[in-house]
Amino acid sequence: MVNGFFDKSFKEILSSQLVSIAGGLIAGFVLAATTNKLLLIPGMLITLPGFLDMRGNISGSLASRLSSGLFLGVIKPKGFKTKIIKGNVEASFILAAIISLFLGLIAFMFNNLVLHVFTPSIIMIFLIAGLIASAIEIPVAIFFTFYFFRKGHDPNNILGPFVTSTGDITSILSLLIALVII
């Protein structure tokens, strides 16, 4: 009975999670190293988890949609400049902008209503960070979806943990860049 637990699916779950925690720990390390810059901003802790999730949600869905298109045959493995891919990229950027703006507004309203601090710049920080993170993460997601597909793998099995891990790191770095810009 005990041996039955440690079968192929056990190994698959464990190995995919080890990849996932590696990315999360790198992101956590960057977050801890920049605590005095990032986490001291009022309202940052409220929206930070949502911001980290957003990258995985948007890029993960993008990779998943492209994989479906590749398997259906409506997206060709060697053609990037198609209507469907352009539409997907456009939608991912617009969604990232909308959600970043929304998260910035939540933080701004919390600061204004609860902490009585007027911080309109936090809206811009999230918006700029969301766009920077998308500019890095979307091409990465597209490139690796096509790469794994061409190599004969199912991108759906690999890109989930991959995109969430890289998404965490790029999100925190983008927040830092946005902070410097603002």
The closest alpha carbon to 77, from 145, 141, 157, belongs to 145
Q: Which of 59, 63, 66, 103 binds other proteins (CB under 8 A)?
A: 103
Burial of 1 (0-12, 13-18, 19+ CB in 10 A): exposed
Q: Which of 160, 173, 177, 179 binds other proteins (CB under 8 A)?
A: 160
Q: How far is the CB of 91 from other proteins (least distance, A)?
A: 4
- Looking at residue 182, its amino acid is I
Interface residues for other proteins in 73-92 (CB under 8 A)? 73-74, 77, 83-84, 86-88, 90-92
Burial of 73 (0-12, 13-18, 19+ CB in 10 A): exposed
Q: Report if residue 164 touches other proteins, rule: CB under 8 A.
A: yes
Using the structure block, give the residue that is written with the tokens 């920049």: 34
Interface residues for other proteins in 54-73 (CB under 8 A)? 54, 56-58, 61, 65, 69, 72-73
Does the CA dihedral 101-107-111-113 come out positive or negative? Answer: positive
Helix orientation angle between 8-33 and 155-181, rounded to the nearest 10 degrees: 0
- Residue 116: φ, ψ to 5°: 55, 40
Q: Report if residue 39 touches other proteins, rule: CB under 8 A.
A: yes
Q: Which of 138, 144, 162, 168 binds other proteins (CB under 8 A)?
A: 168
Total residue count of the chain as it appears in this document? 182
Site residues (vs other proteins, CB under 8 A): 4-5, 9-10, 13-14, 16-18, 20-21, 23-25, 27-29, 31-33, 35, 39-40, 43, 45-50, 52-54, 56-58, 61, 65, 69, 72-74, 77, 83-84, 86-88, 90-92, 94-95, 98-99, 102-103, 106, 110, 152, 160-161, 164-165, 168, 172
